[in-house]
Amino acid sequence: MRLSLNGSAAHSVAHSHAATHSTGRTHAGRFRKLTLSLAVALGLATGTLAGPALDTVAGTESATPQASAQTPNSLIGKLSGSLSGLASGMSPRPANNYQTFNVNGKTRTALVDVPANSGNRKKPILFMFGGLGQSAASAKDMSRFNAIAGRTAIVVHPEGIGHAWEGAPYSKTRRGEDVAFVRTMVKTLAKRYNVDTKRIYAAGMSNGGGMAMNLACQAPDLVAGVVSVSGAYYDATMGNCKGRNVPTMLIHGAHDNVVRYGGGVRHGMHYYGARAAFDNAARRNSCNMGTLHGTRAHPATSGYTYSGCRASTVLWRAHMGGHNWNAYAPDAPTAAWHFLSRQRHA
């Protein structure tokens, strides 16, 4: 396999946050103030850059149809656009409340934040799934999506049964139950608010990242794009996928000692590494797997994609990152929303 690298080194301040896969307490850590330097970190220039191999492991509002073909340079170039528009007016005043949903006779809950200025314009829904042991409130504190996307999207932090999501060995739900929960939330929220059902997005951390990927696998008709950070891709979340393409971004730290970049076994079950999960998504998105294109947007971060993908498919490798929501660079929530907000079902 040929690897072509192009890009430029840039300076960025990332927001590192200690987190573990087995407890939610450390997921809800401290964050620094959001900076605009990600716009620089994602800024790419043409050139040749030598960098570590992908497999080397240590231990916005303008939506585009997801089915359009993407070239590597145009795809990564879109990510490199200025994020100043996202940063402007980052103090939304949403209506903040827990809502209940009846899912096949079970009552499920989610923390739903609706933009105060919702008006008559249709709003996308952004789901954020926390890690194992993490409550909806804790995931909200960690994600900062309300500050970044809360003016333009309905932001939903669902409550997992047993604070876990399906497909993992410790899950309290069977395969399909949490997907049904998400479908019910979308259907119910579309009745309560003016929802753009062609712009349903999912993001997650650790076990929640696996849930976001599970939605791309099991409900590609529902989600217009997914982002996973430090995702736990257990075999059960990656198999028997439906056929439709889903724009996908993965962010993973090379020094993640909880859910390792190269994969492994945890809680007695095998899980995919970041590269294997990326390749799985790329195959489902009909990418040309012959050549992997890369860029280094920051000394600590490299981005990768394939040619000819029918839906955007990107892997960000944070060379010094651990099991963090913000794996040094890029800043996860800003990069996630910049990626997702461009996606739309055809």
- Residue 246's nearest CA partner among 279, 273, 274, 282 is 282
How far apart, in Å, are the Cα atoms of 191 and each of 116, 188, 275, 285? 17, 5, 39, 31
pLDDT value, residue 286? 96
Chain centre to alpha carbon of residue 257: 20
Residue 239 DSSP label? S
Average pLDDT value for residue range 168-192: 97
Q: What does pLDDT average to over the chain? A: 78
As a whole number of angstroms, the distance between CA 113 and CA 116 comes to: 9
Chain centre to alpha carbon of residue 144: 13
For the cut 70, the answer to whether the pLDDT of residue 53 exceeds it is: no
pLDDT band at 330; cut points 50, 70, 90: low
pLDDT value, residue 155? 98
As a whole number of angstroms, the distance between CA 20 and CA 184 comes to: 29
For the purposes of burial, counting CB atoms within 10 Å of the CB of 179, is it exposed (0-12), middle (13-18) or buried (19 or more)?
buried
- Domains of the chain in start order, with CATH, are 2-52+60-344 (3.40.50.1820)
Residue 319 DSSP label? T
Chain centre to alpha carbon of residue 175: 20
Average pLDDT value for residue range 202-227: 98
Residue 160 DSSP label? P
pTM of the model: 0.77
